[in-house]
Structure 1
Amino acid sequence: MNLLRERLTTPGDPGALRAEEGERPQSHARAYQSLKMQVHQLLLSRIDLEAMENLSDDHLREELGLMVERLLAEENLVVNASERRNLVRDIQHEMLGLGPLEPLLADASVSDILVNGPQQVYVERRGRLERTDVSFVDDDHLMKIIDKIVSRVGRRVDESCPMADARLPDGSRVNVIIPPLALDGPVMSIRRFAAVPLTMANLIDFHTLTAEMAEVLSALARAEVNLLISGGTGSGKTTLLNILSGYIDHAERIVTIEDAAELQLQQPHVVRLETRPPNIEGRGEITQRALVRNALRMRPDRIILGEVRGAEALDMLQAMNTGHEGSMTTIHANSPRDALSRLENMLAMGGMNLPTKVARHQISSAIGVIIQANRLTDGRRKITSIQEITGMEGDVITLQEIFSFRQTGVAEDGRVQGYFQASGVRPRFQERLRSRGIHVADHLFDPGRRME
């Protein structure tokens, strides 16, 4: 199938490709970028866009490769075999994917892609940041890729709305901020999601937690205990939330609420809700709070809130206190106690001027267990604390720690050393587990064993 129209240029035309001595760029990289732009623009001017829509991605990729080869031959442009292969690949990425980012997205070892303007792209591998040789031609080139990403999910980014959250087809989370807020050009952050979702066994292998801790957490999820996962940026909160949600019975109806849909639930009965930003006129915004309220009318067995960060905390806690047990959410906080303080502040954001004791009682009666996830200085993620909320003593919410990670030092190579240990406390939620027919052995809580 031929996607090229009649030839629109001749070798002597101004628009034709040429590589004259006096116009050759000083650096090889700039010369290659210039060549790629010329081939791309010429291809766009001559391709039959209607015919493209009728082809599958694989067939279209093959056709684009043939067309690039044909254009190079027509323009009598001499390139070596390596440059020819790279040119075909990069044009395919520009037309069908996300341009220079495609090789990074195909690399399974990359967990984060951080674009700080067109000439500076970093990635995170195994918890460490490193700069790549990937670059964009200029701000306009980067903006085209950004527009392609945000438009897929019905969002926009421009001077009137210079920040946006979006997601890639695989569920990876994208945040974009552009000038005038970003002073050195468009900035984009991509939090990668694994093609195959991680499991609890993977976390045990990575020493994020122990098998004993995993057994207790899975039992809590099955027993419909309300869970709050606390941690900093990049600590693995969403990953853990996704794994714990996998223990929910397949017969239950689950409603998920997120700013940008990331969760990868495997159950058959899942309803996914996503917030909507305001339109260009400043209207039409749908917040998480509105979605939580609506979810209560959807007969959910479980409500999973991707992250609680504002006024929706009030509605979430009320849902947990009114029969929607087994709900889960995440929160940004450095410790379980900080998480409770943040929740208390969020209740005030909800417009309810509750007395301090009433607000804390609402929190303590709604949430059963707080799981603290931290990212250590060596880049590894650990579940550093699992604490049970046991009620109130006066005006203070009481916590008891069930498991913790004890850091003992840092090795010469920078690796954090330490061990996991149970506190020896027999948690109150064991009664709830037994009432649901879930058995957790008492020896799991024995403080005499150090678990690496």
Structure 2
Amino acid sequence: MAFINNHAPSPSPGGMPPRPESLKNAETYHDVKMRLHDRLIELMDLTRLESMPPEVFRTEVAKLSEKLLNDEFKDVPLNQGERERLVREIHDEMRGHGPLEPFLNDPTVNDILVNTFDRIYVERNGKLELTEARFKDNSHLKKIIDRIVNRVGRRVDETTPMVDARLPDGSRVNVIIPPLSLDGPVLSIRKFSKDPLELSDLIRFKSIPMELGDILQNIVRGRLNILISGGTGSGKTTLLNCLSRFIPNDERIVTIEDAAELQLKQEHVVRLETRPANLEGKGEVAQRDLVRNSLRMRPDRIIVGEVRGSEALDMLQAMNTGHDGSLATIHANTPRDALMRLETMMYMAGFNMTSSSLKRYISSAIDVVVQIARLSDGSRKMISFQEITGMEGEVITMQEIFAFEQLGLAPDGKVRGRYVSRGIRPRFSERIEAKGIKLPGNLFVQRTMLDI
């Protein structure tokens, strides 16, 4: 075999590696897997693993595993299904992400949450479920974590017990280990969709009605500044991705993110990502630095993946100084809360202005706030579409154009509700039509747009 290690130690007499007497009659699946894994490590020439093509590696691991199972582990009672699963998981241990590999390859899984080595949760269709997968122990979990963070040039240990990283496919990873986590290493993975959703998919899923999809397309083409607000996991980045599709191909787009998640399909895109400080506490590049730098890059559109700090000031300044058509997301429960958070962030940036002046600055920069939410049945919906109309005294004035009204729950737990148009024609409609974009005459008539 191409990568057999000829200097590997021989197995113990009888063909089996040494093991406690108690295991001969009570072999566990994980014991077999870890012992088989250790035996493969002994036999393989590890220096050749990284250069070997994935398919060749998989085939060779399968052949050697089968040989070991037949020769050295023949007294272990495993049926054919268990043997196939064992070989597959051994491959994942050596080249992939161990017990997490099936979930990383499962398109129905959105999040993978490892609370302890033996409690792995996944999110499917907005609902969390406990899986049967587990790591052998905390050391096994820590080994997989090290493999993930080392591939992106990061490290996690007692001096740096918290790390954000990315998998090769762009999936976002967060790790926190003892002494900060009390029960062992904790791993969270927000998966990166290989086939990103389109606006038509959101309409098909009834996350938005068709008419609202049309208005979203038009306000992007009409270069309105849009703020997408919502909670964690509500779909803010997904909607931002969908809206970005309607930016014309001849415009220069600069994206700024903490962890690169956006999947823009235009050709003229510059992607920027923040950088954390190194072990000496130097070299950090924050979002605010990137937003400032982007203004020198002649952007037609600026997209900020998530506004969470002092970069809000520079983003709003860009929106107020000719960079219209910008998009951003923010964590907030309501459109009004989103504007309050922006005001707080501007104070964090040291912007020395009165509260009234800050609010006027925000109201002149943002045109539309889109609120999305994950409902109790796990579905994600746009629950409010509001236009900022200006100021009245010390208050930013807003008017809700479209909304989702929840009416109750069906017997199967699904949310029942309806999308409604409030019967208000937004002020931005004149700006949109002045750019040659025609809006249907009955689009803003007060009515129920879609029942769910």
TM-score class, shorter: over 0.9
1:30-84 CA deviation, whole Å, 9 max, x = no partner? x221222222223223322333333211121112212222333453544433332
Query: Is 2:54 the partner of 1:57?
Result: yes
1:14-40 CA deviation, whole Å, 9 max, x = no partner? 9962566533485x5xx2212222222
1:253-312 CA deviation, whole Å, 9 max, x = no partner? 111111111111111111111111111111111111111111111111111111001111
* Structure 2 counterpart of 1:401: 400
Distance 2:362 2:151 in 1: 38
Q: Is the 8 A contact 1:257 1:306 kept in 2?
A: yes
Provide runs of 4+ in structure 1 moved above 4 Å: 13-16, 18-21
- For residues 62-101 of structure 1, the aligned pairs below 5 Å read 62-75=59-72, 77-79=74-76, 80=78, 81-101=80-100
Q: Is the 8 A contact 1:306 1:330 kept in 2?
A: yes
* Structure 1 unpaired stretches of 5+: none
Q: Is the 8 A contact 1:320 1:327 kept in 2?
A: yes
Task: Give the match's secondary structure for 1:273.
Answer: strand
- For residues 348-367 of structure 1, the aligned pairs below 5 Å read 348-367=347-366
Query: Is 2:232 the partner of 1:255?
Result: no
* Structure 1 counterpart of 2:9: 9
Query: Is 2:282 the partner of 1:283?
Result: yes
Task: Give the match's secondary structure for 2:442.
Answer: helix
* Structure 2 counterpart of 1:270: 269
**Residue identity opposite 2:192 in structure 1:** F
Aligned identity (percent) is 56
1:141-173 CA deviation, whole Å, 9 max, x = no partner? 111211222223333222122112222222222
Distance 1:186 1:447 in 2: 53
* Structure 2 counterpart of 1:137: 136
* Structure 2 counterpart of 1:243: 242
- Structure 1 residue 99 displacement after superposition: 0.7
Using the size of structure 1 for normalisation, the TM-score is 0.95
* Structure 2 counterpart of 1:34: 31
Distance 2:22 2:279 in 1: 47
Query: Is 2:292 the partner of 1:293?
Result: yes
Q: Structure 2 vs 1, CA of residues 24 and 444 (structure 1 numbering), >3 Å: closer, same or farther?
A: farther
- For residues 400-439 of structure 1, the aligned pairs below 5 Å read 400-439=399-438
**Residue identity opposite 1:265 in structure 2:** L
**Residue identity opposite 1:17 in structure 2:** P
* Structure 2 counterpart of 1:311: 310
* Structure 2 unpaired stretches of 5+: none
* Structure 2 counterpart of 1:219: 218
Query: Is 2:360 the partner of 1:387?
Result: no
Q: Is the 8 A contact 1:10 1:16 kept in 2?
A: no
C-alpha RMSD over aligned residues: 1.9
**Alignment: residue pair count:** 449
Distance 1:195 1:385 in 2: 29
Q: Structure 2 vs 1, CA of residues 76 and 153 (structure 1 numbering), >3 Å: closer, same or farther?
A: closer
Q: Is the 8 A contact 1:18 1:77 kept in 2?
A: no
Distance 2:75 2:275 in 1: 50
Q: Is the 8 A contact 2:256 2:273 kept in 1?
A: yes
* Structure 2 counterpart of 1:23: 23
Task: Give the match's secondary structure for 1:444.
Answer: coil
- Structure 1 residue 10 displacement after superposition: 2.1
Higher mean C-alpha deviation, range 6-15 or range 96-105: 6-15
**Residue identity opposite 2:325 in structure 1:** G
Q: Structure 2 vs 1, CA of residues 13 and 352 (structure 1 numbering), >3 Å: closer, same or farther?
A: farther
Q: Is the 8 A contact 1:374 1:381 kept in 2?
A: yes
Q: Structure 2 vs 1, CA of residues 255 and 151 (structure 1 numbering), >3 Å: closer, same or farther?
A: farther
Q: Is the 8 A contact 1:17 1:39 kept in 2?
A: no
Distance 2:428 2:295 in 1: 26
1:289-348 CA deviation, whole Å, 9 max, x = no partner? 111111111111111111001111101111111111111110010000000000000000
* Structure 2 counterpart of 1:343: 342
Task: Give the match's secondary structure for 1:277.
Answer: coil
Q: Structure 2 vs 1, CA of residues 14 and 75 (structure 1 numbering), >3 Å: closer, same or farther?
A: closer
Q: Is the 8 A contact 1:19 1:77 kept in 2?
A: no
**Residue identity opposite 1:438 in structure 2:** I
**Residue identity opposite 1:218 in structure 2:** Q
Using the size of structure 2 for normalisation, the TM-score is 0.95
* Structure 2 counterpart of 1:113: 112
